[in-house]
Amino acid sequence: MQTLIKQQSTIGAADRRTVGRVTVENPRIRCRNVHVYYGEKRAINGVTLDIGRNEVIAMIGPSGCGKSTFLRCLNRMNDAIDGCRVTGDILLDGQDIYDKRLDVVPLRAQVGIVFQKPNPFPKSIYENVAYGPRIHGLTSTRSELDEVVELSLQKAGLWDEVKDRLNQPGTGLSGGQQQRLCIARTIAVGPEVILMDEPCSALDPIATARVEALIDELREHYSIVIVTHSMQQAARLSQRTAYFHLGDLIEVGMTNQIFTNPRHRLTEDYITGRFG
């Protein structure tokens, strides 16, 4: 029997070296040899990866492969988890985000995050969006704040649907609207990078399509890192795709290439549905 790509049948250390080009010109975020530990357990194993400007990069991989963990390293959301330790360098525009002197609050304003389950605050739609600008002191007058809220909701494609009920609770919206509200809330602080942790996994196909359309538009202004379990979604949305496997970054490449002709056997097995 012939083999498609020359490989050993067992996965040795050599096979864990990342395949494909991990660097980009003028990256927004530069990760070098990032390891993450939960206590004694190693969750991420030496990931080196650049995240470009105005690109959507998708992270795919089986559950527990570390893609979400890696995503959360990028704005230090892992800080809140006890026993979580990150080594290696993560540079945002050349600034080490794990620098002891760096304040995590402005970092999170720069690198926003959208979660798997829509999690609006149990407050009004207006308050949800206004909260970020308010705590960061981005606006000084009420009318400025109104403007920021409107602009954010417009960018998130939600303005027309909610402009007449800004004072109603955000939790009363439908799932897809809630998720777009969460995106609007993130945009309102003016981030450069938006991290998305399976943003559509709790949504129905129509809501998913709307959120995807939104992500596609947002690419013009932001770098977007999206973790997804849907390969079709990764293929639709992203320009580059990274495949994680048991804490290793196995392969990075242009999305077209990853989905037609992955170079690594593990990537191939995963995306063709031969995993496990």
Partner 1 sequence: MNNRTDIRPGSTMERVNANLARRYAKERRFRRMGMGAIIISLLFLTLLFSSIISNGYSAFWQTSIQLEIHFKAETLDPDGSRDPGLLSAADYSSLVKGALRGIFPEVKKRKERRKLYALVSSGAAFRLRKMVMSNPDLIGSTARIWLPADDDVDMLVKGYIDRDKPEAERRMKDFQIAWLERLQREGRIEKRFNTTFFTAGDSREPELAGIYGAVMGSVFTLLITLALSFPIGVAAAIYLEEFAPVNRFTDFIEVNINNLAAVPSIVFGLLGLAVFINFFGLPRSVPLVGGLVLTLMTLPTIIITSRAALKSVPPSIREAALGIGASRMQTVFHHVLPQALPGMLTGAIIGMAQALGETAPLLMIGMVAFIVDIPAGMMDPATALPVQIYLWADSPERAFVERTSAAIMVLLTFLMAMNAVAVILRKRFEKRW
Partner 2 sequence: MNKITEGHTVKRFDEEMLFLHRLVLQIGSLAQDQLRRAIQTLNDKDPTAARGVISRDQALNDLDVQADEAFINLIIKRQPMAKDLREIITISKAVSDLERVGDEARKIAQLTIQIYDTDNSPPNKQVLRDINTMAAFVGDMLEISLTAFDELDAPKALDVIRLDSELEEEYRSALRRLTTFVIEDARTIGHMVDVVLGLRALERIGGHAKNIAGYVLFLITGSDVRHKSLERIEGQII
Contacts with partner 1 by CB under 8 A lie at 75, 77, 80, 82, 105-109, 112-115, 117, 119-122, 131-132, 135-136, 169, 171, 182, 185-186, 188-189
From residue 66, give the alpha-carbon distance in Å to each of 45, 87, 138, 265, 276.
9, 15, 34, 19, 17
Minimum Å gap between C-beta 12 and partner 2 is 16
Find which of partner 1, partner 2, none residue 232 binds, CB within 5 to 8 Å per kind. Answer: partner 2
Give the nearest distance from C-beta 102 to partner 1 in angstroms.
13
Residues 225/57, Cβ–Cβ less than 8 Å: yes
256 near partner 2, rule: CB under 8 A: no
The smaller minimum CB distance to partner 2, of residues 126 and 243, is found at 243
From candidates 4, 13, 14, 80, binder to partner 2 by CB under 8 A: 4
Distances (CA, A) of 111 to 75, 173, 176, 190: 6, 25, 22, 9
Among 83, 94, 137, 273, binds partner 2 (CB under 8 A): 273
Q: Please identify, using beta-carbon distances, which residue of 6 and 142 lies nearer to partner 2.
A: 6
Select the residue interacting with partner 2 from 91, 202, 231, 246 (CB under 8 A). 231
Q: From the CB of 119, what's the least distance to partner 2, in Å?
A: 30
- Per CB under 8 A, which region of 48-56, 65-73, 158-166, 261-269 contacts partner 2? 261-269
Binding site for partner 2 (CB under 8 A): 1-4, 7, 9, 231-232, 235, 258-262, 267-269, 271-276
